[in-house]
Amino acid sequence: MKEKVENALEKIRPMLQADGGDVELVDIDADGVVTVRLQGACGGCPMSQMTLKNGIERMLKQQVPEVKSVEAAT
């Protein structure tokens, strides 16, 4: 599953990089919860939670059905 998630993140990454940000995979737990860290401009952006849920989580769930949710690393 990690490889599937990494491949999906590679498809998302150019959109984030266009705005000066990036995303790093931190962990995937047994329940299908993916933990990521938003980097660069995305890390401190007030819209980062929306990017995480409406962008990254939605796309990951479409491409990797085993993903149940996406959370930001603390």
Residue-range domains of the chain with CATH: 2-72 (3.30.300.130)
Q: What is the pLDDT of residues 58-68, one digit of tens each?
A: 999 999 999 99
Q: What is the pLDDT of residue 12?
A: 93
Q: What is the pLDDT of residues 12-29, one digit of tens each?
A: 999 999 999 999 999 999
Q: What is the pLDDT of residue 35?
A: 97
Choose among 20, 19, 59, 18: nearest CA to 36: 59
Q: What is the pTM of this model?
A: 0.91
Q: What is the pLDDT of residue 44?
A: 84
Q: Where are the alpha helices (DSSP H) in 1-74?
A: 2-18, 48-50, 58-63
**Dist CA 66 CA 5 (whole Å):** 10
- Is pLDDT of 74 > 80? no
